[in-house]
Chains A and B, each alone.
Chain A
Amino acid sequence: MIHRIWNRLLIELTPSCERVTRILSESQERPLSRWERLGLAAHYRICSWCHRYQRQLALLRSVARKAGAQGIGVDRVLSERAKARIARTLRDAPSGRQSTPQRSKPE
């Protein structure tokens, strides 16, 4: 009974899940205030979803950084047509100023 009242109190006193997800996102952009950190810690006691959400955001950042460094699509290669076009552009690049590159045409 006391446990239920305590949880009800925490639900009322801590930020809503919607607010918590926003704070969690902003925690990746700025330092959180002491009250915000306290609010999150209290909220996690009653909401495992938001706690999971916190871990998901951390993992999302980590995999996005990996994708940025390695490039998505390990087997994606520049077409021979594009390589030939680049070679032509480099060969024809005029001296002394930036040339106007040939653009690829949408297929």
Chain B
Amino acid sequence: MSSPGVAARDRVHAWVDEHADFLYRYAYSRVFEENLAEDLVQETFLAALQASDRFSGRSSVRTWLVSILKHKVVDHFRKVARQDRESLDSFFREELSEHFGEDGHWRLEARTTPTNWPPEQQMLLDQKAFWKQLETCLRHLPPRVREVFVLREMEDLDTPEICRLLGISQQNLWSVMHRARMALRGCLDVNWVRVLGRA
């Protein structure tokens, strides 16, 4: 690898001024830890510096930087998933009995029976507040489960790729996603939609 020259360093410094905040938001939205998000952004710029002579300019600088950061995030998730299998396993053991009765149908007395959600446009009317609530709901998920959800729904990776990265079976991935979706929609239902309805 060739040494990054002065021009390359100046260019990457300019990219920090222009794109660091966006990359930080991108990273934070996935890892939910400020220090870790900062480290991932730093590693992204460092990798960009080392590879700046290979940047072809076919895509925008931001797109290129995001693709580097995405790899850093996925790699981080891969490492922690392989170190910590216990939290995923315990999530599989949890029951969904708080939502359903013995007959397998929704429990009428539970607060989690699905309400009628308004259209997306209305849900996101106060987008800033909505993102805050979504963040709170995502934070309630166990970290390993949240990471699976992030890879599937935010990064749009497909099932085989996530299974390969995290070393889990397809059935386990589906179970995690089912429970993550059940928990998230329940959290938004109680803390956002029902609150909107009362406003």
State the A residues within 8 Å of B (CB): 11, 16-19, 21-22, 25-26, 28-30, 47, 49-50, 52-53, 55-57, 59-68, 70-79, 82-83, 85-87, 89-91, 93, 95-99, 101-107
Given A77-B21, A78-B41, A60 and B184 touching (CB < 8 A)?
A: yes
- Rounded to whole angstroms, the CA-CA distance of A83 and B20 in the bound complex is 8
Given A57-B181, A85-B42, A90-B45, A62 and B135 touching (CB < 8 A)?
A: no
A residues within 8 A CB of B150? 68
23 A-B residue pairings within 8 Å (CB atoms): A18-B105, A25-B178, A29-B159, A49-B113, A52-B117, A57-B181, A59-B120, A68-B30, A72-B28, A72-B132, A73-B28, A73-B29, A74-B131, A75-B128, A77-B21, A86-B16, A86-B20, A90-B12, A93-B9, A97-B1, A98-B47, A104-B39, A106-B35
Complex contact A18–B28 (CB within 8 A): no
Complex contact A90–B16 (CB within 8 A): yes
Complex contact A59–B29 (CB within 8 A): no
State the B residues within 8 Å of A (CB): 1-4, 9, 12-13, 16, 20-26, 28-30, 35, 38-39, 41-43, 45-47, 49-50, 96, 99-100, 103-106, 113-117, 120, 123-124, 127-128, 130-132, 134-135, 149-150, 153-156, 159, 173-174, 177-178, 181-182, 184-185, 188-189
Complex contact A25–B185 (CB within 8 A): no
- Rounded to whole angstroms, the CA-CA distance of A83 and B42 in the bound complex is 9
- Rounded to whole angstroms, the CA-CA distance of A29 and B176 in the bound complex is 12
Write the nearest CB–CB distance from A4 to chain B, whole angstroms. 17
Write the nearest CB–CB distance from A83 to chain B, whole angstroms. 6
B residues within 8 A CB of A77? 21, 24
A residues within 8 A CB of B13? 87, 90
Q: Which of A22, A72, A85 contacts B25 (CB 8 A)?
A: A72
Complex contact A18–B123 (CB within 8 A): no
B residues within 8 A CB of A79? 38
> Residue among A73, A75, A102 with the most chain B CB within 10 A?
A73
Instruction: Provide the main secondary structure of the chain B interface.
Output: helix
Write the nearest CB–CB distance from B34 to chain A, whole angstroms. 8
Write the nearest CB–CB distance from A43 to chain B, whole angstroms. 10
B residues within 8 A CB of A83? 16, 20
Measured CB to CB, the nearest residue on chain A to B12 is: A90
Q: 20 extra interchain contacts, Cβ-Cβ under 8 A, other than A67-B29, A71-B22? A: A11-B105, A18-B99, A18-B100, A53-B114, A60-B181, A62-B120, A63-B123, A68-B155, A68-B156, A72-B131, A76-B24, A77-B24, A78-B24, A89-B45, A90-B45, A93-B46, A93-B50, A96-B1, A97-B1, A101-B43
